[in-house]
């Protein structure tokens, strides 16, 4: 079960625009249903015929078994008990899709989502212009007036559609960007993320810094919050050294002991904070060293190190 299969299923359900029976899903897709949560919903289906759950070859009429359950009258196998999931179907929660696509493209215009034609929606205005979602690429290609009517002044249009397998060329006029649903978006963290083309990747959103738990340190020592420097992210080795220093509760301790407890090779705690020559000049690379200097007291001659903020902890 992974998010790739989950996104493929979303794209498939959107392209088909109707429910899909659970028995018609691959094992990967069945697993993806769990991951998708509210992105899909059970579809009410009133079936008169089902694929025989025994042979999976013939379709049989659905009849009651007289005990509240149901049977498939398979022409080959005879009456076969039907489990509820044999009749269940799933359908895409299309409101979910449209809302999450808006979020992925950072559309926060006041206007809502408008259906502008059969299976065509205007998701709103992103900074670069209107964004259109359509279920079916060929419908738009054959009716270019639909898109022309949605242009606003000279702004570019962006059009999201599922990508047909045989479509490789750009299907629209040059001032229309085509965003194939399968390729330019992904299922991520319960929502949808936009995969910007190379060269236009938006600045990555900073991970929310962890809250300090041990003094100024996060609970895994992978970041430290200092009033004069803000949040500083730390490498695994730096985190191990600070974690080790923390365990000595502010007591001056020999460097070898600190490094042994940290599980590191070198003798001096500062070694893992030094900026490597190949990293010199990189933005922020010296920040862990600032934290080290602010927090660690060294008695160089005796080879002792202490971290006073851990005293009495
Ligand atoms: Zn059968």
CATH architecture label of 223-310: Orthogonal Bundle (1.10)
Ligand 1 center to residue 57 CA distance, Å? 6
Ligand 1 center to residue 55 CA distance, Å? 4
Residue of 265, 270, 268, 271 lying closest to 254 (CA atoms): 268
Ligand 1 center to residue 51 CA distance, Å? 8
Ligand 1 center to residue 20 CA distance, Å? 21
Most confident of 50-59, 138-147, 247-256: 247-256
Query: 91 and 13 in contact (C-beta within 8 Å)?
Result: yes
94-104 helix and 3-16 helix, angle to the nearest 10 degrees = 120
Rounded mean pLDDT of 247-255?
93
Ligand 1 center to residue 75 CA distance, Å? 7
| 267 confidence band (pLDDT: 50, 70, 90) | confident
Ligand 1 center to residue 79 CA distance, Å? 8
| 208 confidence band (pLDDT: 50, 70, 90) | low
Residue of 95, 154, 179, 137 lying closest to 146 (CA atoms): 137
Ligand 1 center to residue 23 CA distance, Å? 14
The enclosing H or E element of 239 equals: helix 236-247
Main-chain dihedrals φ then ψ at residue 113, nearest 5 degrees: -95, 130
Query: 140 and 146 in contact (C-beta within 8 Å)?
Result: yes
- C-alpha span between 256 and 262 (Å, rounded): 10
215 vs 86, 223, 273, CA distance in Å? 56, 11, 20
pLDDT tens across 109-131, in order?
777 899 998 999 999 987 778 99
8 vs 5, 32, 92, 186, 255, CA distance in Å? 5, 9, 12, 9, 53
Ligand 1 center to residue 81 CA distance, Å? 11
Residue of 272, 216, 282 lying closest to 246 (CA atoms): 216
Tokens of 283: 């933005």
168 vs 67, 178, 196, CA distance in Å? 54, 11, 18
Ligand 1 center to residue 31 CA distance, Å? 25
For tokens 């900026």, the residue is: 275
Ligand 1 center to residue 60 CA distance, Å? 8
The domain ranges of the chain are: 3-92, 94-194, 223-310
- C-alpha span between 254 and 269 (Å, rounded): 10
| 160 confidence band (pLDDT: 50, 70, 90) | very high
Ligand 1 center to residue 9 CA distance, Å? 27
Q: What is the mean pLDDT of the chain?
A: 86
By three-state DSSP, how is residue 220 classified?
Answer: coil
Ligand 1 center to residue 24 CA distance, Å? 16
Residue 164 has pLDDT above 50, yes or no: yes
């Amino acid at each position: 079960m992974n998010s790739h299969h989950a996104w493929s299923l979303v794209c498939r359900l959107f392209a088909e625009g109707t429910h899909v029976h659970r028995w018609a899903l691959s094992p990967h897709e069945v697993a993806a249903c769990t991951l998708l949560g509210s992105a899909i919903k059970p579809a009410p289906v009133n079936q008169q015929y089902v694929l025989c759950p025994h042979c999976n070859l013939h379709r049989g009429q659905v009849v009651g078994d007289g005990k509240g359950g149901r049977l498939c009258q398979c022409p080959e196998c005879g009456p076969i008990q039907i489990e509820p999931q044999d009749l269940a179907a799933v359908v895409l929660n299309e409101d979910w899709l449209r809302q999450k696509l808006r979020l992925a493209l950072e559309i926060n215009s006041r206007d809502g989502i408008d259906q502008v034609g059969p299976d065509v929606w205007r998701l709103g205005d992103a900074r670069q212009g209107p964004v259109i979602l359509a279920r079916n690429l060929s419908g738009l290609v054959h009716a270019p007036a639909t898109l022309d009517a949605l242009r606003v002044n000279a702004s570019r249009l962006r059009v999201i559609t599922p990508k047909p397998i045989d479509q490789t060329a750009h299907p629209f006029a040059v001032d229309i960007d085509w965003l194939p649903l399968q390729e330019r978006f992904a299922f991520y963290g319960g929502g949808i993320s936009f995969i910007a083309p190379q060269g236009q990747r938006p600045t990555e959103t900073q991970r929310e810094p962890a809250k300090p738990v041990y003094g100024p340190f996060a609970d895994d020592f992978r970041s430290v919050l200092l009033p004069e420097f803000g949040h500083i992210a730390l490498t695994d080795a730096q985190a191990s050294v600070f974690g080790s220093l923390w365990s000595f509760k502010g007591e001056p301790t020999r460097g070898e002991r600190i490094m042994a407890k940290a599980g590191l090779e070198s003798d001096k705690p500062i070694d893992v904070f030094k900026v490597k020559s190949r990293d010199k000049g990189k933005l922020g690379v010296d920040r862990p060293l600032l934290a080290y200097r602010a927090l660690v007291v060294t008695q160089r001659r005796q080879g002792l190190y202490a971290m006073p903020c851990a005293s009495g902890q």
